[in-house]
Amino acid sequence: MAIPFRLPELGENIHGGDVVNVLVAVGDSVAAGQPVIELETDKAVIEVPAPQAGRIASLAVGKGEHVEVGAVVLTLEPVGEASVAGAPVPPVPASPRAPAPDVPAPPPPPARATAPFDSALPAGVPREDLAGAAPASTDERAVGVPQPVHTPHLPLPAGPATRAHARKLGVNLTMVPATGPAGRITLDDVQAYVRVLAARAAADAGAPAPEQERATATTAAEPAAARASTAGTAPAEDTDREALSSLRLKIGRQMHLSWTTIPHVTHFDEADITALEELRVRLDRRLGETGARLTTTVLLVKAAVACLRDFPRINATLSADGQSLSIARCFHIGIAVDTADGLIVPVLRDADRPSLARTATMLAELAARTRARTVGLDELRGATFTISNLGGIGGTGFTPIINPPQVAILGVARAAVGPRWVGEAFAARLILPFCLSYDHRVIDGAEAARFCHGLRALLEDPDGFLLEA
């Protein structure tokens, strides 16, 4: 007998993830602990193993789908039962696509004080069609209005995003035919259902529904704010539509949270790193024999740690309610890494402890694993301060966004040679622009300015902090 395998708990505050890859197929034999899917969560990709040996009876998820903890991932025929049966495992039936003759129409939803979809649906579409309360007529079948295709009172095969979209439009999912894997209802299925209703409404009104009306029907099903935001844009045939990746959506949610909840202020400064660069080049030659590279980022980490010792409130995290500040005694430095999939910030823990050479090796290995998406979940959490260095790409400055619950982030742009007054004459010097974005609820402008002044002093006279490093 096939048993369901549900997505287990993956870690604290992890409620689900997006399927990056399905590693098995129906009929495959798996061993206990063998990975069956790859799941992306918190910007890391982890493997989910089979709970026991057996054969895959059915798959409930596909690549790109979101899976919540506790949701069925697959059904598994235990190896003992499979060997006794001696026959192929029958697939678990998906949700029925056609209604049984004796299946009653689903009950109408409870009445609401407001009409959640009057402004979202095409004009002329009756509300009862979406609620599933009105029986389907012969005319409705003629224009292709879907009949109830899912058994009432049973869990519907639809993901959270699809359910939320259906609620926004007022669509009853029991009426929506499914075209996704294992009979799942997709966002496209919901939109197609709305278009069919729009065509029926046009037919009832005696108006034709030509091809160009389909785009109008789809647009009418979107919120008015979304339509206003796209006013004046290029026609659909002149644009390429690109779905955002799950990682990009996670980054977007985190950045939106930060920008809307933290009062950002950015303090700009610059440092003459001529001496620091000369020292870096000399030390890099010596480290080259070991295979490590002494980059500017390595030196920035050591300088930042030395400066954070003098400004401990900047090396801190703020509680979610904004009522308490946790000042860290350790120095866990987040390093922004540019990957092919988006910006990921792994954490270099206890950055004050390793030597300069060891720090260079650790950073190189951490960045390589991050770009390969093999970095662990624990390596993406717990930073007390973050450094974002865009110097390798270019630019004269930018305003980095704080990664909550941290209260500050250091942004570094590309160093450039420029004239500086030295003693009694101008001289060509290598100038590094940098800035500090900080949470103004915790850090005042004067404290941020003093931090930047102290960091500049360290960078311009590196002997002191490098001796300690």
115 has pLDDT over 90: no
Q: Is residue 35 helix, strand or coil?
A: strand
336-345, 372-381, 421-430, 447-456, range with greatest mean pLDDT: 447-456
Confidence of residue 231 (pLDDT cuts 50, 70, 90): low
How far from the centroid of its chain's Cα atoms is residue 141's Cα?
Answer: 41
In our burial notation (b when 16+ CB lie closer than 10 A, e otherwise), range 399-431 reads ebbbbebbbbbbbbbbbeeeeeeeeeeeeebbb
Same topology for domains 3-85 and 249-468, yes or no? Answer: no
Domain ranges of the chain: 3-85, 94-228, 249-468
pLDDT at residue number 20: 85
Cα–Cα distance, 204 to 122 (Å, whole number): 13
Q: Is residue 189 helix, strand or coil?
A: helix
Q: Helices 296-310 & 445-460, crossing angle to 10 degrees?
A: 130
Locus of tokens 């192929």: 88
Higher pLDDT, residue 173 or 152: 173
Pick the CATH number of 249-468 from 3.30.160.270, 3.90.340.10, 3.30.559.10, 3.30.70.1230: 3.30.559.10
Higher pLDDT, residue 442 or 101: 442
342 has pLDDT over 50: yes
Confidence of residue 211 (pLDDT cuts 50, 70, 90): very low
Residue 177 tokens, joined = 């035919």
Lowest mean pLDDT among 215-219, 277-281, 385-389: 215-219
pLDDT at residue number 313: 97
Q: Which helix (H) or strand (E) holds 410?
A: strand 408-412
Locus of tokens 């624990």: 378
The widest CA-to-CA distance across the chain, in whole angstroms, is 97
pLDDT at residue number 405: 95
Cα–Cα distance, 148 to 350 (Å, whole number): 59
Confidence of residue 464 (pLDDT cuts 50, 70, 90): confident
Lowest mean pLDDT among 172-181, 380-389, 413-422: 172-181
For the residues 423-446, what does the mean pLDDT come to?
96
Confidence of residue 291 (pLDDT cuts 50, 70, 90): confident
270 has pLDDT over 70: yes
**pLDDT 10s digits, 343-383:** 999 999 999 999 999 999 999 999 999 999 888 888 999 99
409 has pLDDT over 90: yes
Check whether domain 3-85 has CATH 2.40.70.10, yes or no:
no
Q: Which helix (H) or strand (E) holds 73?
A: strand 72-78
Start-to-end CA span in the chain (Å): 62
Bridge partners of 318, per DSSP, are: 325
Cα–Cα distance, 211 to 122 (Å, whole number): 16
Length of the chain: 469
The whole-chain average pLDDT of the chain stands at: 79
Cα–Cα distance, 232 to 217 (Å, whole number): 18
**pLDDT 10s digits, 117-127:** 333 444 444 44
13-27, 56-70, 179-193, 422-436, range with greatest mean pLDDT: 422-436
Residue 79 φ then ψ, to 5°: -65, -35
Residues catalogued as catalytic: 440
How far from the centroid of its chain's Cα atoms is residue 330's Cα?
Answer: 28
pLDDT at residue number 149: 61
pLDDT at residue number 161: 73
How many CB atoms are closer than 10 A to CB 29? 13
What does DSSP assign to residue 128? H
Residues 6+ apart with CB under 8 A from 216: 122
